[in-house]
């Protein structure tokens, strides 16, 4: 397994991983637009083009975990102005068979290394209140600022923990 930088050429496979992960991990939370391939792929086209989200600042990266030439998960991160934080996890998905193996932590660590090279000192992530995977962020010291957003005000502490 290896972490690599994702590119626009990976959009189809990233979209597949996103949809499969959602269906495997929390199918009852999904609405049709959450798992529509064209909708999700278009979202990634605009993200890679720097057109979304509106709160993003220049500076974005996506780290993909590759196993046997297949993407099994990814973490997309960008610099942001949202909630007065420096960086934001845009999207973070890992196929169910690979969860709870340390891969998510490795992807988070890679994203933090990238963000801190750009002087990011704080980080936020949006998540649906009913999403059980918020436990991953809470385990790593994130705090709620509202029911939909978690933050780390000092990513150096998070890096030390990881």
Place of tokens 């918020």: 134
Give me the pLDDT at residue 107, please: 97
Give me the pLDDT at residue 5, please: 98
Give me the pLDDT at residue 158, please: 86
Give me the pLDDT at residue 147, please: 95
Give me the pLDDT at residue 52, please: 93
How big is the chain, counted in residues? Answer: 162
| Distances from the Cα of 101 to the Cα of 49, 104, 106, angstroms | 32, 8, 10
Question: Do 78 and 59 touch, CB atoms closer than 8 A?
Answer: yes
Give me the pLDDT at residue 83, please: 96
- Encode the chain (162 residues) as per-residue pLDDT tens digits: 999 999 999 999 999 999 999 999 988 888 999 999 999 999 999 999 999 998 999 999 999 999 999 999 999 999 999 999 999 999 999 999 999 999 999 999 999 999 999 999 999 999 999 999 999 999 999 999 999 999 999 998 888 888
What are the φ and ψ backbone dihedral angles of 63, each rounded to 5 degrees?
-110, 125
Which domains, ranges and CATH numbers included, belong to the chain?
Answer: 2-161 (3.40.630.30)
């Amino acid at each position: 397994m290896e972490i690599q930088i994702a590119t626009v050429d990976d959009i189809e496979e990233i979209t597949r991983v996103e949809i499969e992960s959602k269906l495997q991990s929390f199918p009852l939370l999904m609405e049709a637009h959450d798992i529509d391939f064209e909708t999700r792929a278009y979202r990634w086209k605009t993200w890679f083009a720097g057109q979304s989200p509106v709160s993003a600042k220049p500076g974005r990266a996506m780290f993909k975990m590759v196993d046997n030439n297949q993407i099994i998960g990814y973490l997309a991160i960008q610099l942001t102005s949202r909630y007065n934080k420096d960086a934001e996890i845009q999207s973070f998905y890992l196929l169910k068979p690979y969860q709870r193996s340390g891969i998510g932590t490795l992807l988070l660590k890679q994203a933090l290394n990238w963000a801190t090279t750009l002087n990011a000192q704080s980080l936020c992530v949006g998540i649906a209140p009913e999403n059980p995977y918020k436990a991953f962020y809470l385990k790593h010291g994130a705090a709620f600022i509202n029911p939909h957003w978690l933050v780390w005000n000092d990513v150096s502490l998070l890096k030390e923990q990881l």
